[in-house]
A and B are shown apart, each in its own frame.
Chain A
Amino acid sequence: SQQGEEDPQALSIQEGENATMNCSYKTSINNLQWYRQNSGRGLVHLILIRSNEREKHSGRLRVTLDTSKKSSSLLITASRAADTASYFCATDAAGEGIGPGANSKLTFGKGITLSVRP
């Protein structure tokens, strides 16, 4: 079953604008990750934020996590046409162990389709 719910389902912006995508989830987590998928291709890992972190940056990416609201947001600044893709949040649920013994299976949302117009 899908754990995360991304919002909006689709987003269309102009190149150079910022894109903000939101994700809500249901259960307690060890960490939350964002992935990108270009049409018909595999997933590319973007960024991981642990449950005890509130904000993380990687290049043009900024992710926040609010465990009290069970929500996360991904901000892409200064978007480019090459950012056009589907974006998924994925959670690694707590309670299934941590460390090497945990299964660490990921539960994905349905994804957000981002279109960046040149």
Chain B
Amino acid sequence: DTGVSQDPRHKITKRGQNVTFRCDPISEHNRLYWYRQTLGQGPEFLTYFQNEAQLEKSRLLSDRFSAERPKGSFSTLEIQRTEQGDSAMYLCASRLVGSSYNEQFFGPGTRLTVL
């Protein structure tokens, strides 16, 4: 257990439905990242937050995706009008900026299956 939690761990939805995932980082960590991992691939960067500010979004993050970190603590990732291609593991990671390392602590992930 890295201290980063994600909820839910599994989500099965029908195409066209909206889904929302939550990530709770390690409490003192000010940097929060979202990654997506498909079967047989490594994680791919989606977006990151410094406190409550979203500072970068990958081109993978289409306009159906939105992420928030309203109080600089937990974050949510919402996918609207889900498509089968959205099926993946969504990973959240956190880091303390100012530490000498760039070690990111990953949560267990949310596995999304779109039917």
Contacts and interface: CB of A to CB of B under 8 A. Distances in A.
Interface of A: 1-2, 4, 30-31, 33, 35, 40-45, 48, 88, 90, 92, 100, 103-111
Interface string B17-60: 00000000000000101010000111111001000000110000
Nearest to B95: A104
A48 B105 CA distance: 13
18 contacts: A2-B44, A4-B42, A31-B102, A42-B2, A42-B106, A42-B108, A43-B91, A45-B104, A45-B106, A48-B102, A48-B103, A88-B43, A103-B48, A104-B104, A105-B56, A108-B44, A109-B42, A111-B41
Given A2-B42, A103-B48, 18 more contacts: A2-B44, A35-B106, A40-B111, A42-B91, A42-B106, A42-B107, A43-B93, A44-B2, A45-B103, A48-B103, A88-B43, A100-B98, A106-B35, A106-B45, A106-B102, A106-B104, A108-B42, A111-B41
